[in-house]
Amino acid sequence: MKVTQLECLCLMLLHLLHTAGSERFEVLGPTDSIVAVAGDDIILPCYLKPNISAEDMTVDWLNLDIIDERVFRYQNHRIIQDDQIPSYRRRTSLFKEELWRGNTSLKLTRVQVTDEGRYKCFIKAKSWYDDFTIQVLVKAVGSKPVVSIEGHREGGMGLLCETEGWHPEPELVWLNSKGVHLSARTLEIHRDFKGFYRVKQHVIVQETDTNRFTCRVQQSRINEKMETEIHLPSQLFDPTPWKISLIVLCCLGAITVIGLSLAIYCICNKKDDLTEQRDDLKKDNNDLIRKLDDHNGKLEILTSQLDFVNTNWSPAFETIRRHAVDVTLDPDSAHRNLILSDDGKQVRHGELDQVLSDNGNRFSNWSSVLGNVGFSGKFYYEVKVEGKTEWTLGVVIQSINRNERSRPIPYNGYWTVELKDGEYTAHADSPVTFTPREEPQKVGVFVDYEKRQVSFYNMEAGSHIYSFTGCTFTEKLYPFFNPGGSDSISLVVCPVDVTD
C-alpha cells in the first residue's frame, strides 16, 4: 500500500501532538512555609503530577533571594556544579532512586541561618516546563541570658543582660518581681557573619522590697522564651559604704570622749575605778573594730560571689554543653566495693568486697572510680544523682595517691563536690558547705582548662552550684565518681543532647 506525502505529514503531526501531550505535567509542593532549625537537615518537597519519570528532565532548584541563585541542578543524568552557589556545595542532593516516579524533592543538610528565603523548584522537559515556589524560614534558639552587675549608676544599681545565637532577632525585656516591665536603655543588636543575633541591654534598678529582677529574652515567631533572675542584697544599694565606717568611728570617738571624761573624774576620786574603766573602754573599742572588720569582710565576700554567679564567669548552658565528651568508667581503677555496669556508664556501692587483681591503678583508699580517658581544654559531662543520699563528683589528676586517705582537695589534685548526711560540701582547701535552692537530680561538670576553672551545675533547675577558680593544672584531668555507701542507687553517666 502506497503512502502519500500528505499522509506522512499527518502521521508526524499526530506523533508530535501525542508526544507533547504526554510530557505535560504540573510541579507541586507544600503550600505552608517550611520551618527549619539551624544545624538540622530538611527536605524541600517537590513532585510531578502525574507521577511521570523526571530522569531525562532538567531539575533546577533556585534561591530567589540571592543574585547568584543556583542552589542545585540535575541535567543529562548528572549533577551540574559549575554555577552552583558555593555555600550550598556538598549540602544539597536529590533522591535519585525516586526520580522515576516524579519525586524531585531537595535534601538540604546542616541548615544555616543564611539559607532562609524563597526556593523555586523548576522542572523542564523537551517541550514543557513548570515550577513551584517554597518559603523556608530558619530558627535558632540562642543562649540563656547572662546578667552581670555594673555597679552604682545614677542613684541605683546598673545591670547588664546579654544573650547570643538567636534567629530571628529576639526581644529582650527587664522585669521586676511583680512582672512589670522596667524602663531600660536602647537595645543593642549585633549580627555575626553566620547570621546569628547577639543582643544586650543595660538597666538601672532601684531598691525594692524583694530586690529580685529578671531579664527575659523571647522570640514570638518561633515561640521561644528564656529568662534569668538575679537577687541583689540590700547592702549593695548603699552607694557610700564608708558611711557605716564613719558612724562606727563616731561612736568610737564618743565612747573615747566619755571614757576620758570618766577617767579624769575617776582620777580625782578613785584610782582603782580608773583602771577598771580603762579596761572596759579598751574591750568595747576592740569589739567595735572586730564587728566593723566582720561587716566589711562579709560585704566583700557577698559581692564577689554575686559577681561570679551573675557574670560571664558562669557561661550559658547551651554553650558549655557543646563541649560534651563521652565518659566511660575505667574498671581497672574501681575500688573492690564498687559494681560497674557492662557498658561502663553506671556505678554503685556493693555489699561485699570483690576479688579483683591488684593492678596498681585501683583505688584502695576511697570507694571511687575514674573515667577511662583524661582531658584538657574545655570538656563537659553530666551525671544523674536522682534518689541518692550520698555522692562525690568532680575531676582529678591521674597521679593522685590512690592508696592513702589524703584529703580530697585541690592541693592533692582533687576538685570535687560532695553530698553526705544531707549537707553539700565543695572540697576547697578550706571546705565550703552550702544548701542549694533545689536538690540536684542531674549534675553537670564543666572544666575550662585555660581559664583554670571547674564548675558544677544543677541541670534540672538550670542553676549554678559551685565553681573552683584559679586552679593549677599540670596534667590531664579525669572524671571522678564516688557513689557513697549509704544507698544502693547507681550514679549514671548521661548522654548529653546539645539541642535540649
pLDDT value, residue 18: 44
Mean pLDDT of the chain: 83
pLDDT value, residue 249: 59
Neighbour count for residue 183 (Cβ, 10 Å) = 7
| CATH class of the domain comprising 22-139 | mainly beta
Q: Nearest-CA neighbor of 373 among 414, 326, 321? A: 326
pLDDT value, residue 434: 86
Span 317-494 CATH architecture: Sandwich (2.60)
C-alpha 322/C-alpha 318 separation (Å) is 7
pLDDT at 127 over 60: yes
pLDDT value, residue 469: 92
What is the band of 499 on the pLDDT scale with cuts at 50, 70, 90?
low
pLDDT at 312 over 50: no
pLDDT value, residue 162: 94
Q: What DSSP element (H or E) covers 37?
A: strand 34-37
What is the band of 445 on the pLDDT scale with cuts at 50, 70, 90?
very high
Q: What's the rounded mean pLDDT across residues 255-266?
A: 65
3-state secondary structure of 400: coil
Q: What's the rounded mean pLDDT across residues 202-231?
A: 90
pLDDT at 11 over 60: no
pLDDT at 2 over 90: no
- Distances, alpha carbon 336 to alpha carbons 14, 160, 345, in Å: 90, 51, 17
Per-residue pLDDT of 314-338, as tens digits, reads 567 778 889 999 999 999 999 988 9
More confident position, 157 or 5: 157
Q: What's the rounded mean pLDDT across residues 83-107?
A: 92
- Stretch among 152-156, 176-180, 431-435, 445-449 having the lowest mean pLDDT: 152-156
pLDDT value, residue 17: 44
pLDDT at 248 over 90: no
Q: What's the rounded mean pLDDT across residues 192-217?
A: 91
Q: What's the rounded mean pLDDT across residues 196-203?
A: 92
- Stretch among 32-36, 291-295, 304-308 having the lowest mean pLDDT: 304-308
Q: Nearest-CA neighbor of 396 among 482, 299, 461, 273? A: 482
pLDDT value, residue 329: 96
Which cell numbers hold the place of 455? 564548675
Using an 8 Å Cβ cutoff, are 368 and 491 in contact? no
Per-residue pLDDT of 347-361, as tens digits, reads 999 876 676 767 778
Span 146-237 CATH architecture: Sandwich (2.60)
Domains of the chain: which residue ranges? 22-139, 146-237, 242-308, 317-494
pLDDT value, residue 285: 67
pLDDT value, residue 267: 59
287-295 LR contacts (CB < 8 Å, sep 24+): 288/248, 288/251, 288/252, 288/255, 289/252, 291/248, 292/244, 292/245, 292/248, 295/244
Quick check: do 22-139 and 146-237 share a fold?
yes
Query: What percent of the chain stands above pLDDT 90?
Result: 49
Per-residue pLDDT of 474-483, as tens digits, reads 899 999 999 9
pLDDT value, residue 4: 63
pLDDT value, residue 270: 58
Q: What's the rounded mean pLDDT across residues 383-400?
A: 94
pLDDT value, residue 325: 94
Residue that has been written with the C-alpha cell 524583694 in this structure = 210
C-alpha 116/C-alpha 38 separation (Å) is 10
Q: Nearest-CA neighbor of 482 among 371, 317, 321, 380? A: 371
pLDDT at 304 over 50: no
Q: What's the rounded mean pLDDT across residues 162-184?
A: 90
